[in-house]
Amino acid sequence: MGITTQMPKFGMLSGYRVVMMGASVAAPFAGELYAENGADVIWIEHPTNVDAGRVARKSGSWQQDRRNMRSLAMNYTKNEGKEVFLKLLETADVLIEASIGGRYEKMGLSDEALWERNPKLVIAHISGFGQTGIQEYVNRASYDPIAQAFGCVMRMNGMPGQPSAPAMPFPGDYTASFYAFGLTLAALLKRNETGKGESLDLAQYELMMRIQANYPTDYLRYGLDYIKEGNHSRICAGYGTYSCKDGNEIYMLLLNPGVLQKGLPVLGVEYGTELIPEGSSFVPVDTTAAKIVEDAIQKFCAEHTAEEAEALLTSNGVPCSRLLNYEDAVNHPHYKAREVFTTWTAADGETQIPGVNVVPKIKNNPGQIWRGAPNIGMDNQDILEELGIPQEMIDKMYAEGKLGKRDYFESK
For 47-69, write each residue's pLDDT tens digit. 988 887 787 656 678 899 999 99
As annotated, the residues of the chain forming the CATH 3.40.50.10540 domain(s) are 3-211+338-399
Would you call 51 a catalytic residue per the annotation?
A: no
As a whole number of Å, the end-to-end CA separation of the chain is 32
Report helix, strand or coil for 277: coil
Q: How far apart are the C-alpha atoms of 180 and 123, rounded to whole Å?
A: 9
| Cα–Cα dist 305/328, whole Å | 15
pLDDT tens-place string over residues 113-162: 999 999 999 999 999 999 999 999 999 999 999 999 999 999 999 999 99
pLDDT at 349: 87
CATH 3.40.50.10540 fits 3-211+338-399, yes or no: yes
Q: CA 266, CA 349: separation in Å to the nearest integer?
A: 54
Distance of CA 107 to the CA centre of its chain: 28
Query: Cα-flanking dihedrals φ and ψ of residue 264, to 5°?
Result: -60, -40
Backbone angles phi, psi at 284, to 5 degrees: -65, 140
CB 382 within 8 A of CB 2: yes
- Do β-strands 94-98 and 70-73 pair in parallel, antiparallel, or remain unpaired? unpaired
Pairing mode, if any, of strands 320-322 and 249-253?
antiparallel
Predicted confidence at residue 53, as pLDDT, reads: 77
**Which uninterrupted H or E stretch holds 117?**
helix 111-117
Give mean pLDDT in consecutive 10-residue pieces for the chain, a chain of 412 residues: 66 98 93 98 92 71 92 94 97 97 94 98 97 96 94 94 93 96 98 98 97 95 93 94 98 96 96 94 96 97 98 97 97 97 92 95 96 94 96 96 84 52
Q: Catalytic pick from 173, 286, 328, 379?
A: 173
Q: How far apart are CA 404 and CA 50, in angstroms?
A: 11
* Third-level CATH fold of 239-329: formyl-coa transferase, domain 3 (3.30.1540)
Residue intervals in the chain for CATH 3.30.1540.10:
239-329
> What CA dihedral angle connects 235, 320, 314 and 291, to 10 degrees?
-40
Strand partners, 243: 249
